[in-house]
Each structure stands twice: as structure tokens, then as C-alpha cells.
Structure 1
Amino acid sequence: MEEHDKNEKEQRSIEEDCSRRDFIKRATIAAMGVGLGGIQELDAGENSAEKTKAATKKTAPVKYLYHDSHVHLTSYVQEGTDIRDYLKIMGDKVGRSVLFGLPLQQKWSYLNSEDRAPTYYLHSDAHLYYYSFNDAMIAHEYNKLNEEEKKRFDPMITGFNPTDMYAVDHIKRVLKMYPNTFVGIGEFSIHKEFVSAKIAGEVASLENKALDHIMDFAAESGLVTLLHCDIDVPFGEKSPKPAYARQMYKLLKKHKDATIIWAHMGLGRIVRPHTRDLMHAKGERNPGHLEIIEYALKDKELGNLYYDISWDQVAKYVISSPESLQRTADLINKYPDRFLFGTDNVAPKEETYYNVYEMYQPLWDILTEEARHKILIGNYERIYDKAKVDVAAWEEKNRNAGKAKLLGENETPEEYILPHHHHHV
């Protein structure tokens, strides 16, 4: 009992150590936006804070504040934070972290921005294009670490085009070039406000067969899938149903053996939580955003679906009102195994890295002990520990078979990495 109290005090000390310098300012600004509160009514009998707290299972206090399930080591111009610097930022507060960059490069078009070099997709009207070398960059950073340091990271493959039937070949090639490294794919985007329309070439779709091939391989290999897909079009929150919800659930049910994390709960800067109007044009009630999420969580065919609550843009909806905050907590308390926390930092910097965690402090305060542990620590470990085992098994099984299939009889591994193409002139 004394040891338990000591651990609890240590955990509280760690949490209090994180500065809340920006919280009041951020919460005030966020409260001016559209929140999740007033959008959905959960079953009060099952979801009241009193009942969920009474039913809480005691979970051993965590050593770390959290594991980061969503962070980008590099930016939209492929610049970022050295992995050793990121490790210092994590320190003894963040236990583990996914490791991926951004699969898209912002083009610097002189005709568009002249000598002003854009560093973000909102800084220019020029196209974005897929940048596959990012996976090699991530593997390079990861391999700077010693074996003990590597245990704190879970690298992901992102440098593929989800509209390309060859995308799976890229993923397999990366696994073979960098064995014992990658455990997932993502974050990659299908529908994303501002971004989708800027990507050169074919527009991504949830109904593209190329995406089915990617999901099939994720299931086969055990790779965790982190998918960004806005649940709706911009400014569509008052429509009867979100534009992409049906297609997304159809995709998920088609690939039940793939572990899929829906980034940002399907929200964005201007893809706001779906509002619950009393009636829409057909005389039926609009579902609210949390209600739509609960439909999916209750569906036994969607047991492979998880949500991350990463990004300050998502946090602003959650903390925008006491009602929104409580209803979000009620949902997470009711389904504690299905949510993960991530910062969605891009090229992490020490002075801003913990801001999103701090914004969510009011949520951490009203979650049950079980739910708080699982969203911050437990679910990450369960999902990514399994992926490490499954992907390692796939790599071992396919190590020799893959060479026999992909290499010609007289070719060497070096020739596979840099294949020779013989063209007739």
C-alpha cells in the first residue's frame, strides 16, 4: 500500500513537472471554436462519470507520461529533428514513440513564390509530390541508435503513393532493405483538407483498388496502419451524414485483419465535428460526431479500428466546453481499449513538444485511471508490441523466399537494391 502511494505521488510529480504555461490561453482560444459538446448524448446510465469511476480497475501507475503514437520527425520540405535530439526531448517523460516523416514534399516553384522558400503546404499554391526517399531517411536516423535506444522507437513506412498499384512493392522493398526496423505504415492520407487537391497526379480515394492492396499486405505482414482521412468535406458539419464515413467503414470491414488507427478521429482544421441538428431536410435527426464514432466502436465487425486524438486542432474541439470535455471522457471511459494519444508534432522542438499533452490536461483529469493508462501507455504497447512480433515473423518467413522471387538467378542483393534495366535501342 505504501509502495502504491509512493508510485502515485511520483506519477503526479512527473505530470506536474510539465509546464501548463500555455493551457489557459489555448483553452480560451479553443473555446471560441466548434466543440464536441452539445453534439451527442451518450447513455447517461452507462456513461456517467460517477459510474465509470466506480467501475475503474486499478492499473499500475505508469513510469512515463505517455508514448507518442503520432509524430513526424521531418517536415514538408524533408527537414527535421535529429533523432538524438528528439530522444533528449523525450527524456524520462515519454517512453516510446512512433518514427516517421512526411511522405509529401512541398515543391518550391519560383513562379509561385519567387525567392520565398515555402516550408509548409499552406505557404504555397505549388504542388505537393510523393517523396519516397523519406523512408531511407527515417531508417538512417533509427540506425544511429544503439540497441537499447532503438527499443523506444517504432518506425513506420510512409513514402508510397496510395493510388499506385506498385505501392505494396515499395513497402516490401523497404522491409527487405531495412530488416528489423519498420513495424507500420503511415501516416498517409486519403482525403485531407487543403492537401489532397495539391498533390500532383491522381486523387486518392477510399475505393481505389491500390488502397485495398496496401491494406491486404498490412494484414498479411502485421504492419500497423495509421491512416489520415477526413470524415467529411470542409464546412460539411451540418450535412445529414459525413461525406466519407460510409466509404471508410466499408474499407475497414473489408480488411478486418488489418490493425487500423484513424488519425485525429477524422477531424481537421476546418473539417469540424459533425453537428447534431434536430432535423435535416429529410426530417431525420443528424448524428453528432461522437455518436458516429460510437456507432463504429459498437460494431463487432470493426474491432480492428482504433482512433488517435493527436493534433492541437483536435484538442481544441475536445476542451472547447465542459459538455464537450465530459462527453469525450465518457466515450473514452466506455471504450478504453480503442484510443491512443499522440502529439502530431512536426520536426519536434523542446519548447513546443509537450503543448498538446498539456492542452489535454482537463481530459486526463476526468478519465478513469484505467482509461488514462490505456490511452497514454497501454494501448500503444499492446498494438506495437504485437506488430514487432508479427512483422519480424513475416520478414523471417520471406527473407529467402523474397530473394528467390525478386532476384534473378544470377543477381546479387546489391543488384536488387540498384537493379539493372536492359533496354533495346
Structure 2
Amino acid sequence: MHALRISFALILGLTAQFAQAREYRYSDAHLHYVDFFQESAGMTELFEQMAAGNIEHVMLSGIPVAKKWHEDEPKRPRYYAGDDADAYWYSATDVLVAHAYKQVPAEQRTRLHPFLSGFNPNDKNADAHIRRMLELDPGLWQGIGEVFTRHDDLTALINGDTPRANNEALARVFHLAAEYDLPVMLHSNITSKRERNPLYLQEIEDPLRNHPHVRFIWAHAGTSMEIHRHQEKLDFLLPTLQRMLKQYPNLYIDLSWTMLQPYLLDAEGKPDPAWVKLVSSYPARFMLGSDVVGRFNGLAENMTGFKPFLDALPEDVAQQVARDNFLAVLPRKVQAELAE
């Protein structure tokens, strides 16, 4: 029995060593090229960080709102939550993303995947605007998003009505996404800062049910740092995702920064077995994102921070989550070009 225990310990040790030796290639499925003031550190810093982090592909989106520097504020805020001034829908964000993309050498553009986000999700004209943008630059845009709906305190700051993922304006956008074979990334909080139940879940489930031909990427599975500040960990999140992934084959989960802790890793940085099991059970449905906003100096560190969790997955599943699953939701035409 003693010999068996020693053998088992050796096997575990070898397995751990093998896991630590893994190297991953990454796709960043959630990256904002500009910040809330529509400013960016630029492509040079982005590509430097991609090289440092072994990041082969990035989703490239703008920020659909701009933060106002109000007349009454003596200091320019650094973030949307820096003061009480409004934010407003800002369509030119897509112009900035497209311009930056076009300055990159052609051989490098295949690593960048622009998503169109500069529209008001409460406006039933939004689909017409998106169609115009798609026709102005045929083949440039590879997805729609990040679409801001329920989004912590930002929701209250944006001029106009609160956006909902299941409103009529976005239904028109989703029909357009299906027509153009574009994935859609949605930011739709699963609950509020106070309610310990999935208060807003129907708002994301309605589109999943009503638009089965659209591939939806749910930004950080409806969580946010602001929710965690008030509620720490949402105990209902895991069983809710288990049900939804089984029920909706068009649902994909962006495991960006607010998911790393307290969900994927515990307080000691160890992988949570329940989340390892969930991701392993749906190996094609999860992807990684940094959710960096206009500054890229921490990009490599953000992405490699997922390594302890990836190491706990079967190796083939880990590589799917780290890199391949994001590429697999892009338009079929783009996938064919990448395969050449």
C-alpha cells in the first residue's frame, strides 16, 4: 500500500510538471482599442504586448459611448465612473477603429478582428446605421459589439433610456447579424448590485431563444467588478450557466477579467473544480478576453493570468479555450481565410 501511495504521488507530480510545461497561444476575444475618451495607446504598443503574451489574434472594438468632461468638473475624469457627468452614444468610435486597422500592414491585419459597436441600442434606426457601415467597408467588420445594455453605474450615466438586450431595436440588429453571419458580443448584467438573484436574466435569454442563428458572446457571463464589490460571488451563476449552455447552443461565454476570481480561481489562486468541469463539458463554448480599454501595457499579463485555470483543463480543451474558440465564432468567410 505504501508503494502504491508513492507511485500515485509520483504520477501526480509528473502530471503537475507536465501541466506547468504547457505553452498556450491566445486569442483575446474582448479588447477595446480606445477608452471612454476615444483615445488609444496605439497599434505599436498593442502588437508589442501581443508578442510578449503569445497572443496571436485579438477582437478589436471601440467603446460605444464617450464620457463627457462637464463644465462643472475642474479635473478631466480618467474613467466613466470618475465623476457624475454623463456619457453619450458615440458612433465615431468605429471610424477610429477602422482607421487604425487600415494603417496596419496587410499581413498583420489577419490577426485583428474588428467588431462594430458605435450605435445606440435603443434606436430602431441602429440596424440601418450598421448596414451602412458594413456596406462602406465590405469585409472589414467581423462582428458586432461590445453592445452595452445593463452595465453597472454606466447605465445610469448614459443619456436616454436604459438599454435592454431584449428590446425591439436590438432585435432588428440581431436579424442583421444573422444576415451577415456576424457574432454579437453583449454586455448584459445578470443582476444588479443589490439583488442576490438573476434579476435581469430574461433580458439575455430572450435573444438567445428568439435568434437561434446568431452566435452570442456573453461578456463575462453577466458579471462585473461593481457587482462583486457589493456581492462578492454570485452563487447562482454556475447552475444558471449549466442550464443555459445546455438549452442554447448559440451561447458562448467570454471569460474576461471579472470571471477569473472569484469563479475560475479561488482566493489562493487554485482552479475551482466545478468550473473546470463546466468548461470541460462545453469545450467549444468558452473563450478568454482581457477587456483592456485603450491601454495595452498589461495585456500580456492579463491573458497569461488564466494559465493556472487552463492548466487544470485537458490540454486539447485548454487550447480551444485559449485560442481556437474565438476564431470559430467569426464569420465563416473569415475562418476560411485563416485556414488558407
Q: Distance in 2 between matches of 1:224 and 1:253?
A: 15
Q: Distance in 2 between matches of 1:347 and 1:388?
A: 25
Alignment correspondent of 2:151: 192
Alignment correspondent of 1:138: 97
Alignment correspondent of 2:283: 336
Alignment correspondent of 2:246: 298
Is 2:317 aligned against 1:317? no
Determine what percentage of the aligned residue pairs are the same residue: 28
2:69 counterpart SS class? coil
2:225 counterpart SS class? coil
Q: Distance in 2 between matches of 1:324 and 1:248?
A: 27
The one-letter code sitting in structure 2 at the alignment partner of 1:139 is: A
Is 2:38 aligned against 1:78? yes
Alignment correspondent of 1:206: 165
Can you list the C-alpha shifts for 1:236-256, whole angstroms capped at 9, x where unaligned? Answer: 22x3xx011123212211000
Is 2:65 aligned against 1:104? yes
Can you list the C-alpha shifts for 1:4-40, whole angstroms capped at 9, x where unaligned? Answer: xxxxx9x97784xxxxxxxxxxxxxxxxxxxxxxxxx
CA separation of 1:383/1:344 partners in 2, compared to 1, >3 Å: closer, same or farther? Answer: same
The one-letter code sitting in structure 1 at the alignment partner of 2:326 is: Y
Is 2:188 aligned against 1:253? no
Q: Which runs of 5+ in 2 are unaligned?
A: 1-16
Can you list the C-alpha shifts for 1:183-238, whole angstroms capped at 9, x where unaligned? Answer: 1010111101111111001221233200100111111111110110000111222x
User: Which of residues 300, 303, 307 in structure 2 aligns to 1:357?
Assistant: 303
CA separation of 1:270/1:236 partners in 2, compared to 1, >3 Å: closer, same or farther? Answer: farther
Are the aligned partners of 1:315 and 1:356 in contact in 2 as well (CA < 8 Å)? no
2:195 counterpart SS class? coil
1:223 counterpart SS class? coil
Tell me the TM-score normalized by structure 1: 0.70
User: Which of residues 122, 126, 141 in structure 2 aligns to 1:167?
Assistant: 126
CA separation of 1:364/1:234 partners in 2, compared to 1, >3 Å: closer, same or farther? Answer: same
Tell me the TM-score normalized by structure 2: 0.87
Q: Distance in 1 between matches of 2:223 and 2:144?
A: 20
Are the aligned partners of 1:183 and 1:387 in contact in 2 as well (CA < 8 Å)? no
Deviation at 1:71, TM superposition (A): 0.6
Alignment correspondent of 1:61: none
CA separation of 1:303/1:156 partners in 2, compared to 1, >3 Å: closer, same or farther? Answer: same
CA separation of 1:12/1:149 partners in 2, compared to 1, >3 Å: closer, same or farther? Answer: farther
The one-letter code sitting in structure 1 at the alignment partner of 2:63 is: L
Can you list the C-alpha shifts for 1:363-421, whole angstroms capped at 9, x where unaligned? Answer: 1121111220111112122112526369xxxxxxxxxxxxxxxxxxxxxxxxxxxxxxx
Q: Which runs of 5+ in 1 are unaligned?
A: 1-8, 16-63, 277-287, 391-425
Alignment correspondent of 1:90: 50
Are the aligned partners of 2:27 and 2:322 in contact in 1 as well (CA < 8 Å)? yes
Are the aligned partners of 2:61 and 2:115 in contact in 1 as well (CA < 8 Å)? yes
Q: Distance in 2 between matches of 1:91 and 1:99?
A: 16
Are the aligned partners of 2:25 and 2:319 in contact in 1 as well (CA < 8 Å)? no
Equivalenced residue count is 315
2:114 counterpart SS class? strand
